[in-house]
Amino acid sequence: MQDHNEKFTAYKPIDSFVEYLLIAQDAPQVTHYVRQLDGRWESEVVTDISAEIVLSSVGCKLSLAEIYEDVTFTV
């Protein structure tokens, strides 16, 4: 997690950096960060395997089912 925080902090000053996904490897969980117009970052955690994440900055939708295709989670 520390590596994630360091990278995220390093990328924040880049003007074109407006969305960031953190994808868990051990469970279906994606955290979607979006920079707001006032510069604040808001995040949404998505865990529903049938949910979609809309990446407005690149005009793309990703479903968790696609992200985790062929991944088997252990309990």
3-state secondary structure the chain: CHHHHHHHHHHCCCCCCCEEEEECCCCCCEEEEEECCCCCEEEEEECCCCCEEEEHHHCEEEEHHHHCCCCCCCC
Which tens digits make up the pLDDT trace of 6-44? 889 999 999 999 999 999 999 999 999 999 999 999 999
Stated pTM of the model? 0.87
